[in-house]
Each structure stands twice: as C-alpha cells, then as structure tokens.
Structure 1
C-alpha cells in the first residue's frame, strides 16, 4: 500500500494591487510505501500532540492538530526526531504566482490541479507494481471541485500507473487525518523558504526531500 498525503501552503489569490495574497503557492506530497511506515508516522503525530501540546490536564485549550503556520520550531524538531528514521519522501513544487498568465489567474482550480499533477509526476509510480495507492488530499474543495480534481488526476496518471494498480483519492479533514498534519508541517517549511526566505525548519528535514522545485522561476 502506498500512502500519499497532499497539502498546500499559501493561497491562490492574484490581486496584488488591492489585496495582500501570498507571492508563492506550494503543493507538497508526503509519500510512504508501506503500512508500517504510515502507522509509525501517525503515531509520531499523536505522540507530539500529546507530549508537547496537550500535556497539562487542566489546559483549557485542547490542540487537535499540528499546523505548519502555528507550531513552534521546537515542537517541529521534536516531531522530526520521531520520524527521521521512517522511510518516506517529500515531493514538492512551489508556484511563483506573479509569473502566471493573467487568463489563468481566473481559473484557480485549473492552476491547483496542474501543480498537483506536476508534483505527482515526480513520484516513481512505476515501483508501485499493482500495489494500491491512496492519495489523501486536504479537504478544501467543494463537491464539484473535488470531483474535477479526481477526474483530472486519474486521467493524467493513467498512462503511468499499472492498470492493475488501484488508485483511490480521498478528500479528508486534516484535523482528523494525522498524515495530512505531517504533510502540512513539511509543506509549510518549503513555502517559507520562498515566501519569507526562512529555511530554519526546512533545513532540518531537507534530506527527506526527494523532489523540490520552483515553477515559473
């Protein structure tokens, strides 16, 4: 079983005159190729939440998930210490939004799907060999958007994946999906590398990054 957790950082706003959208948009996939590795990753997220963020019994605010944007670097380091020996890889592409053609700025779903497909293209699916693939996406799209994404991705990957290899795509809430929380942490680090030119977190797990690129540099 392959597990692919897809998350994004930044936004797809393009009005740089009247608003303040992010300059970059990052999509990352955290990929694991075994059930045991997936279980270890999930347990690491749970352990980090329990031991670092929800330790006090009488704490009024219970934190349900790890978020790249709000989790302290110290906690991220603790989390990485739990997962650094797990076999997984990170694949990521960051879009330079200011270089996107004006016509496409009005077709955000199309841009999102295209970047996601580019990230998936970097993953060696040829090694899956009839092993079921689960692509878990952070639930941010409506029904129509999710359906369009699923159809596009399955069509684009059809030529690369063995016809006998099942491909399931799920859109799940990150609060209840620990793998997505882990993906969010890593995705945020790559996004910050471009948006803020901060690499303190990214440098810690850089060796786990199998593919990382800037699109429309």
Structure 2
C-alpha cells in the first residue's frame, strides 16, 4: 500500500496581491510508521522546549515564531536551524515527493477563469497521473488537507481524481480518498513542511529548503516556472 499526502502552497487567485506561483506537493510513502515516527520525534522536541499546544507546528508558524510572544525565545531564536532539522528528518524517511509548480500568469485563461477549484483539480490530477506508473502503482490511500483553499467540492475532486487514475492510468487496485485536518494526520503535517520549503524557492527566491528536499523529489510537473 502506498500512502499519498497532498498539500498546496500559494493560491490560484488573480488579484494584485495573489501569489505569483501555485504549488501542489504529494508526499508518497509505503512505510507510514517510519514517516510518522520521525515527525513525531521532531515535534516532541519542540513541545518539550515549551512550544504552545494551541499553535500548530508548521513551516509558516516556525518561520514566524519570532513574532509570536507565546513561543519561547529558545525556539524562536533557533527557528531556521529547527526548520532545516525537521525537513532533513522528513526527507530521511523512505518516501518520495512529487510536485506541480505553476507560474499562474502563463496558465491558460480558460483554466484560470473556470469555476473555483477546477484549476486545482486539473493540476493535481495531472501530477498524480504523470507520476503514477513509475512511483506508486497499485493500492493507494490518498489524504488531502481538509482546509485546502482550492478544492471547491470534495465530491467533484474525488470523482475527478478517481476517473483520471482509472481512465488514464489503468488503476485497478484499492483506492481511497480522504479529506482530513492536518493537525490530526502526521503525513499531512510532513508534506506541509516540504510544500512550504519548495514554495519559498519559487515565490521568494530562497533555495535553502529546495536543496534539502531535492534528493527525494520524484516527479516534478513544471508549468512555466522559469518562463520570463
């Protein structure tokens, strides 16, 4: 059984202050216990150091820890080191990260102007189908962040994805698609860190975390990321 955890960074809006890029990350592992154990160990270090239990441990919250007075100085002063340690630990597990990166202004207007969520469904379905045969054929359990800003309807997303996997990839094994809160699923928490780290490379021109993640990247679906 392969487990696939999906998260996104950026958004697909077209307003002036919207992100220039949109990224979907899919972390795949067949050894779920090993992945969970690694992330839980890193989280335990933070909780033992005084990280507040009501603040979710994510890339964004760690990055901005110095602006939250409830997070101990011991953590906020070392937040960049901690971020690198967590990402390195996740990458040391037996998993592969597949991702789709799109520079939004070069996507077709028909996709960008479609009903809310259509672009997300298309990019996510295309990524999974292109990575499927080489990286995760067979039984598949997919978990998507419940709070995804882009999935306009779980049923439309689930039905579309199932249709693509069966119709385009000839998937014949077991298939389940769940939508869960990230604070309840360690796999979603893991992919959040990787998605955040990759996004910084494209949106903020900060390659720090891409360099750490690159060794576990499987399929990269690139939609004009370097086009000028």
TM class by shorter-chain length?
0.7 to 0.9
> For the Cα contact (< 8 Å) 2:144–2:180, is it kept in 1?
yes
**Residues 145-168 of structure 1: CA deviation (Å, up to 9, x unaligned):** 1100000000111031442x0110
> For the Cα contact (< 8 Å) 1:49–1:64, is it kept in 2?
no
CA RMSD of aligned residues (A): 2.3
- TM-score by length of structure 2 reads 0.81
Q: Does 1:135 align with 2:136?
A: no
Query: Aligned partners of 1:99, 1:177: CA distance in 2, in Å?
Result: 34
> For the Cα contact (< 8 Å) 1:4–1:136, is it kept in 2?
yes
Deviates more, 1:189-198 or 1:116-125: 116-125
Shift of the 121–194 alpha-carbon distance from structure 1 to 2, 3 Å rule, reads same
Counterpart position of 1:55: 48
Structure 2 gaps of 5+ residues are 63-78
Structure 1 gaps of 5+ residues are none
Name the structure with the higher helix share: 2
Counterpart position of 1:102: 109
- TM-score by length of structure 1 reads 0.85
Using the TM superposition, give the Cα deviation of residue 101 of structure 1 relative to its aligned residue in structure 2, in angstroms: 3.2
Counterpart position of 1:178: 186
Q: How many residues align?
A: 206
**Residues 96-135 of structure 1: CA deviation (Å, up to 9, x unaligned):** 1112333433323110001101210232346756x42101
Task: Please show how residues 18-37 of structure 1 align to structure 2 within 5 Å.
Answer: 20-32=17-29, 34=30, 37=31
Query: Aligned partners of 1:2, 1:134: CA distance in 2, in Å?
Result: 6
